[in-house]
Amino acid sequence: MKLRSVHIRNFRNLKDVYVVFSGIGVIVGENDSGKTNFLHALRLVLDPQAIRLRLDLSETDINDDARVAGELWFSVTMEIGDLQRHPDVETCFKERIDIDENETFVTIEGKYERGEDGVYSFTNVVKPPAERHNDPIPMKPRMFRAIPFHYLSALRDSERDMRATGRSALAQLLDDVDFSDVEEDVRGYLHSANVALGASADVNELAQGITSHMTQLLPGGQSQVKLTVSDEDSLAIKRGIRLGLQKFTDGSVVDISRHGTGIQNIALIALFRHRVEAGSFGIPILAIEEPEAHLHPHAQRNLFRDLAEMVVPVIVTTHSPEIVKHADPLRLVLFRTIEGATHPFQLDPTKISDDDLKFLAQLMRGGRSELFFARALIIVEGQSEVLAFPEFVNALGCDLDRDGISVVNAECNNFAFILKSCSSSQFSIPAVVTYDTDGLKDTNNLLKEAYRAGLIDRETRDAGSNNTDGIVTIRREILDSVGWFAAEDCFEEEVCKHGYLDVVLQAIINNDPDHHSDHRALENFLRDEGHTADHQGVSAFIKKRATLKVPVARAVASAVKDVMRVPPCYANTIRKAVLQSQGGLRVDQNFEKQACQSGFLDVLLNAIREQGAFDQYKAFCAEHEIVRNEVGVPGFIATETSQTLRPITKLAVADAVAECRCTDYADEIRRTDF
């Protein structure tokens, strides 16, 4: 059996969410993106124990926008398929079975709406096949039993669920256990244990002491207090069963509650797995929130592989890159909040090739699964940029983690599969590319990547294939048109040209402090090639001695906080990624603060200088004892004396946003008033 699809409308922040499942479904997304609400909606429909959840529903569970539009209802519709493999389950739904080629399936809908009496209620029905006009029929107990829904919440209490009382996981398993064949023996052993305990002089003295006081308060005075190991009646025996773990064959059995939370979590999932597999009737659906809770990475991976091998529908929600890295890319579902509503994103297997899926899986296995948690990506040329970019980001006043941005190594310019997977029709993760122009001199590889990613057509790609005069300019203009950012020649030349030349020279010296062979080689190279120790000469030398690239990048990264300069191409790359991660800049009372946090602090400072107000700005900071520019600039512009600056600085930011090739965002800023 499989869960084919789920369609949720108007439930909380799930305005219109449609998800297709195949095998184990892995749902990722930021906090409050709707993952828990999604599983809660499934419980409302399929979990027979969710009666209280249905009774707790109110009009506030209807999506806010839907209520405003007068849609006073929500619905959860799911297709459960592959029923032809399970005749006993298929029989439960009889005339409501639908067929898709050779697969039989059934459509179940739960709906919350107001009845004719004005009272809201939640109903579960089985819908007729699409081509029939039968009325839906209510879900019957046998139907619930045929597709039982087992749910483990992120806030699970492992100790509570492993007690043999109430509706705990262990208690429900024990309900099906018949231990009548050993009951008398167990009672006999418990009686012997109680007698043995009572034989202790101290224990007997304590019991007699308590008895003497109690008999004065009880009618008849005939009661006798006993200290016992356990009650000896059948129900007490069952309630007293505990789950113990013997980690070694010669070790003692220790109650599971005395083990760490990770072991307790594994044990609880094992209980649910057994419930799933031991059911005598029906095919269950298992949903687990954050199965990685309290587990170290190896245990997370092992647990996920175990869940993925189950032959029943499994849905997990997770924040763990360790779990995502081992998932099938086609089974990932990304939940993202856009303007207050949850939107699901999945790969469309008809629009992405098997090779692209293979490369994507390799990227995930290689430890880059975090990109699926990102709101935007920066794709860079190589390891040098990976090392330096986090410091460039900090220097601009941005924050990769706050803005949900991941920096991805292009791995020898093989990254079209990333762009395709992250396109608007797939996972819809904006990606910004920066590249070195030295690669445009000899090959057309970058245009080929743009073509494979669907950014340019074949004719445009081939326009850069000919080895003609000005081919570098032609190729660069094409890549400019798709919004990529070019470093002049290479990373080393770019940083040397923009304030880091001395840092790079010192890194070359420090790379071999004892023998100075790198420094001498640099001097010889410059002399022999007719170069000087400028940005072009030094970068040309590093190209010939590639082992210097990483030490140089590390030195640049360490020096950023002192030099505080970011090459323009990289600054624009970072700014564009930040803008895309947050959907542009809102023109409101926090505009200047947002602009500073998005990397435009220097733009605002330059605008203040150009208006001749920099001395006033410094006086304002001194008066208010402000030393941080990202605080002082918004505060100064917001003062009454500086209100005339606001429209001017806004336009300056709009122009800078346009330089990042975000013209839509720039136009929105220009036409929106405070």
Question: 163: which DSSP letter?
Answer: S
| Domain identity same for 410 and 282 | no
Average pLDDT over residues 152-161: 70
pLDDT value of residue 169: 62
Question: How do residues 314-348 score in pLDDT, each as one tens digit?
Answer: 999 999 998 999 999 999 999 999 888 999 999 99
Q: Which of 608, 599, 592 is nearest to 657 (CA)?
A: 599
pLDDT at residue 278 is higher than 80: no
Cα–Cα distance, 536 to 497 (Å, whole number): 8
- Residue 524 maps to a domain: yes
| Domain identity same for 462 and 401 | yes
| Domain identity same for 127 and 197 | no
| Domain identity same for 147 and 189 | no
| Domain identity same for 1 and 94 | yes
Domain boundary residue, one of 310, 345, 380: 345
CB count in 10 Å sphere of residue 181: 7
Cα–Cα distance, 151 to 544 (Å, whole number): 59
- Residue 256 maps to a domain: no
Written as six digits, the tokens of 442 are 């000899």
Q: What percent of the chain has pLDDT over 90?
A: 62
Written as six digits, the tokens of 398 are 């941005």
Q: What is the DSSP string of 2-67?
A: EEEEEEEEEETTEEEEEEE--SSEEEEE-TTSSHHHHHHHHHHHH-TT-HHHHHT--GGGB-HHHH
Question: How do residues 558-616 score in pLDDT, each as one tens digit?
Answer: 999 999 999 999 999 999 999 999 999 999 999 999 999 999 999 999 999 999 999 99
| Domain identity same for 436 and 470 | yes
Cross-strand pairs, 227: none
| Domain identity same for 550 and 623 | no
Q: Is 542 helix (H, G, I), strand (E, B) or coil?
A: helix
- Residue 250 maps to a domain: no
- Residue 219 maps to a domain: no
The residue range of the domain holding 554 is: 347-583
Written as six digits, the tokens of 203 are 């224990």
Fill in the amino acid letter for 187. R
pLDDT value of residue 639: 87
Give the lowest-confidence range in 157-171, 542-556, 560-574. Answer: 157-171
pLDDT value of residue 430: 96
- Residue 227 maps to a domain: no
- Average pLDDT in the chain: 89
Q: Are 659 and 572 within 8 A, CB to CB?
A: yes
Q: Are 146 and 281 within 8 A, CB to CB?
A: yes
- Residue 617 maps to a domain: yes
Give the lowest-confidence range in 285-289, 388-392, 650-654. Answer: 285-289
pLDDT at residue 291 is higher than 90: no
pLDDT band per the 50, 70, 90 thresholds, residue 221: low
Of the ranges 42-51, 94-103, 550-559, the best mean pLDDT one? 550-559
| Domain identity same for 327 and 425 | no
| Domain identity same for 333 and 365 | no
Question: How do residues 98-120 score in pLDDT, each as one tens digit?
Answer: 999 999 999 999 999 999 899 99
pLDDT at residue 174 is higher than 90: no
Cross-strand pairs, 103: 100
- Residue 311 maps to a domain: yes
CB count in 10 Å sphere of residue 146: 23
pLDDT band per the 50, 70, 90 thresholds, residue 280: low
| Domain identity same for 119 and 70 | yes
Number of domains in the chain: 4
Domain boundary residue, one of 530, 553, 583: 583
Domain boundary residue, one of 531, 554, 583: 583
Average pLDDT over residues 527-553: 93
Written as six digits, the tokens of 340 are 């207050």
Q: Which of 125, 116, 30 is nearest to 75 (CA)?
A: 125
pLDDT value of residue 47: 85
Sheet holding 405-409, edge to edge: 405-409, 376-380, 431-436, 485-487
| Domain identity same for 509 and 637 | no
- Residue 432 maps to a domain: yes
| Domain identity same for 542 and 441 | yes
pLDDT value of residue 638: 87
Task: Give me the CATH number covering residue 3.
Answer: 3.40.50.300
pLDDT value of residue 279: 66
Average pLDDT over residues 471-486: 95
Residues 85-121 as b/e (b if ≥16 CB within 10 A, e otherwise) read ebeebbebbeebbbeeeeebbbbbbbbbeeeeeeeee
pLDDT at residue 168 is higher than 70: no
pLDDT at residue 249 is higher than 80: no
Q: Are 147 and 140 within 8 A, CB to CB?
A: no
Question: How do residues 302-315 score in pLDDT, each as one tens digit?
Answer: 888 888 888 889 99
